[in-house]
Structure 1
């Protein structure tokens, strides 16, 4: 079995979130979805589990953060081209998200933008041309 990632996200409006994640390219897996959760498949190895606040609370003793006010994580999504980066950000905005919550990043060999889903979770679609990198990049400070 390949190593997989399941990102569990608390959402206020499950139906609206399902529509949003379908718009950005996820497919709903009905086998693992119900009135409290939706399994949204991004790729063969990455799935976003959208959980109502009540259901999410059964997995954590900590309060659910308001992602519109606080950042708990940034979710980077690889794309095949700059055009694909731009396209997913525009689709996200049209589907109820918020585009470009910070400036675009263009380093020549790497290009990225950001968007928020309706609950404020931050995504960073990015494209990178590994063949254009001429020197190893240093570690973050």
Structure 2
């Protein structure tokens, strides 16, 4: 049985958040979307639930963090290549997101990050697993 991951994010403006995620390649699942929530599908197993603050508050007794001011979570997603990392990050910036730090390039691993309009941080990354394992063992990377 494959396990599904549902990332629940509070958003200030649901239509704007949905438009942002659609612009970077997520698709909407209308079965789980209404005026308080939008289910955005990244892959067969990863879904992002965009929830209005009132809806999000129904699931937690804690105060909702302002992700523009407080680090709450870093959501790392793998990409198939450096170009895919750049493509999703560039789409996010074009759709109103922001890049909070410089790209990270370690040769065998490459990543960037972007914030959505609500300040939630996503970190797309690509890694050459064989080269990473060699680097961790102190061996020269095989090209």
**TM-score of the aligned structures, taking structure 2 as reference length:** 0.92
Secondary structure of 1:21 counterpart = helix
What is the CA–CA distance in structure 1 between the aligned matches of 2:80 and 2:54, rounded to whole Å?
36
Q: How does 1:130-141 map to 2 (within 5 A)?
A: 130-133=129-132, 134-136=134-136
Superposed displacement of residue 131, structure 1: 2.0
In the alignment, which residue of structure 2 is the partner of 1:43?
A: 43
Q: Which portions of structure 1, spanning 4 or more consecutive aligned residues, are displaced by more than 4 angstroms?
A: none
Secondary structure of 1:98 counterpart = coil
Superposed displacement of residue 113, structure 1: 0.5
What is the CA–CA distance in structure 1 between the aligned matches of 2:111 and 2:58, rounded to whole Å?
35
Gap runs ≥5 in structure 1: none
In the alignment, which residue of structure 2 is the partner of 1:108?
A: 107
Superposed displacement of residue 50, structure 1: 0.2
Superposed displacement of residue 77, structure 1: 1.0
In the alignment, which residue of structure 2 is the partner of 1:75?
A: 75
Superposed displacement of residue 41, structure 1: 0.4
Name the larger-Rg structure: 2
Superposed displacement of residue 102, structure 1: 1.3
**RMSD of the alignment, in Å?**
1.0
In the alignment, which residue of structure 1 is the partner of 2:140?
A: none
In the alignment, structure 1 residue 55 sits paired with structure 2 residue 60: no
In the alignment, which residue of structure 2 is the partner of 1:90?
A: 90
The count of residues paired between Structure 1 and Structure 2 equals 136
Gap runs ≥5 in structure 2: 138-143
Superposed displacement of residue 136, structure 1: 3.2
In the alignment, which residue of structure 1 is the partner of 2:30?
A: 30
